[in-house]
Each structure stands twice: as structure tokens, then as C-alpha cells.
Amino acid sequence: APWNYPVQLILVPLIGAIAAGNCVVVKPSEISKNIERLVVEVLPSYLDKDCFAVVTGDVQETTLLLENKFDYIFFTGSPWVGQIVMTAAAKHLTPVTLELGGKNPCYVSDTCDIANVARRVVWGRCFNAGQTCIAPDYLLCTLEMQEKLLPALSKAIHDFYGPNPKESPDFGRIVGDKQFRRIRALLSSGRVAIGGQTDEAERYIAPTVLVDVQPSDPVMQEEIFGPILPIIVVANVEEAIDFINARERPLVIYAFSSSDKVEQTQHCPSDVLLGRAGGLILCPLIQMMATHRCPVLCVPGNSGMGMYHGKFTFNTFSHCRGCMKRGMGREPLNAPRYPPYTQQKFRMVRATSKVTRKDDCTLL
């Protein structure tokens, strides 16, 4: 399990696995030390130790753990670690669910409620200091919309976190020094339009918006996982779609528009981008995690593979088995199946297996 939501991302898969009747080995992230210690202390108090175990440790212990043969492996984390997990699973032909990452795009059309969009984008990008796998990773909009959005984004940041977000009790910090230095280095991309302040001692990075960003800039080469929002200028929705389609598949695509054009079949990202992302969200951000009816769905690529959330987690950890039962009577009905085969038997088989259609039902 990862470090960014260490309790939720342990318990949600665990609950589904237990409900489906499995024994489970849990491996918390070694980065979130306090939660790792809590899980080790608390979980055995509520679950059978013979069926549910907690393994702790760093890379060495995780590598040894992956050498074992499991019936199923569920991993949440980065794409490059996902490759390691999948390689280890392949040695035993073990199926996997990988909930990884990718750069989630957010398209904003010229026809939308700018103030509402700004508030939703700032909340989605800055919640948990941006350390959320389904957070919007970059904005796509026209130059005209960018100029309208910037003051609205600045106002939303001020409304949420005050004149100095560093002093706000509602704005988080980056989890570790290594992660802080990586994210801070991304501030060299483009030009800082909002924010940009940092404090290494506190691992603080201010809510930041970058403009004049090029597709080749470092901030566009990896998942940011921090409170930085680059804006990519496009001419229209078609160019935005082409930009998204040319890149790795993300976990989710967000789109904001008050125009039917963006939502009509011939223009809508949900149609053109079919299969390009795990999910498509029109207008809300992150809220797919708040409903058990909406799966966290990954499509093969950087976003991972498989799905979970609500009953989808139960389905992931269970096996859909086909069962058929038939009595031993009426054996003469089986006669056409048995040799020797004659023309009469062929005619009988063709007559009984002819496909006819009635409404939407196929009858054999």
C-alpha cells in the first residue's frame, strides 16, 4: 500500500479481499512510518493472525515478499514499482491489480463558470498537498481562458488557505525530503504565475500555477504529486484531445464545459478518448472516490490495470466460476451427439441449434 492515503488504501482492498473469503498479507509503505506502526499494532487485535498478516520493511523485505507465490497481488503505487511487482508476479503467473498513476489532464472550455471551475481545480490539485493519484495534473485551455482563470485560481487559493497558505492548518506538507526535492525541481518549468514559495525545513511548497509550459518541460514528463498546476495552452477541444491521446493513459480525465459541443458525441472526450483513461469525469474532481458505485478503473499503461472500489473490490478478489448441472435421465436426447454420425443426425443437430431472434433475445 502507498504512503499518500495509507489507511484508506490499505483498508479498502483489505475489506474487499476479506469479504471475498481470502487470507491476506498486508505490506504498508515504509515511508509512512507512523501508520505502518499503527497497522502492525492494531490489525492483529481485530483479525485472525493465522489468516491476516502484516509485513513491514524496506525494499529488501518487499523483494523477498514478492518471491512468494500468491493467488493474487494488489498494488497501489508508482508505474516503475508496478513494473517490478508485475515482473515478480509473472514468474508465478499470478494475476495482479495495479493502481498506478499517470498525468491526469483537465480540459476547461471557453464556456464554463470560471469561479466554480477555479474552486474545484484548486481543491482537487491542493487537497493533501497534491499527493493524490486522481488529482488533476495539468490544465488544458485556450489562451483567452487562461487569462480569465489565473485571477480566479488566485482568489480560490486565498479563499481556501488565506493570504499565506503556509500558515493555514488546512494545507498539507510533502511527505518526505526526497519527494520535496523532486517536486521543487519541477518549479523550473515554464513561468510561475501564482505561488512558487518553498521551505525545505517544513517540506512546504505553496499552491503554484505555472504558465508558458512546454510539453517537453520536466513538469510534463512525470506525475507531479504535489501542489503544482501547469497550464498548457491549446486552440480548441480537438487540439486538447490530440494532446491527451499522444500521451500515456492517465487514471482519469476531467472536463469542464457549459457547452453542449464538448458533451456531444462527435466532440466529447468520453467518445474520442474511449479507452484512453480509467475514468472520465465531467465537472467534479476527485469525487469518484466518494461513491462506491464508481470504480477506480485502470487501463493498461501507466495508470495500471484492473479495478476496485465498492463491490468492484469484491469482484477483483473473487473468481466468477461457471457451473452446470444436468440429470442422468433422458439419455435418448443425447443420441445425435454420439457416433456414428449420419446425415439424419446432422439434420437434427442443425434444426435444434438454429439461431432465431426475438426482440433483443437470442434463442438457441
Active-site residue list: 99
Tell me, what amino acid is at 190? G
User: What is the H or E stretch that residue 116 is in?
Assistant: helix 114-126
CA 129 to chain centre: 18
DSSP label at residue 23: -
Q: How far apart are CA 291 and CA 130, in angstroms?
A: 21
Q: Who contacts 173 (Cβ-Cβ below 8 Å, separation ≥6)? A: 129, 202, 203, 204
Burial of 249 by CB count in 10 Å (0-12 exposed, 13-18 middle, 19+ buried)? buried
Sheet-wide strand order for 208-211: 191-194, 208-211, 228-233, 138-141, 105-108, 252-256, 279-282
Q: For 142, phi and psi rounded to 5 degrees?
A: -75, 165
Q: How many CA atoms lie within 13 A of 289 on its CB side?
A: 13
Task: Look up cell 491542493; give the residue.
Answer: 126
The full DSSP string for 195-216 is: ---EETTTTEE--EEEES--TT
For the chain, the farthest-separated pair of C-alpha atoms sits apart, in whole angstroms, at 89
Task: Look up cell 488557505; give the residue.
Answer: 161
Query: Under DSSP, is residue 53 helix (H, G, I), strand (E, B) or coil?
Result: strand
Q: How far apart are CA 175 and CA 3, in angstroms?
A: 8
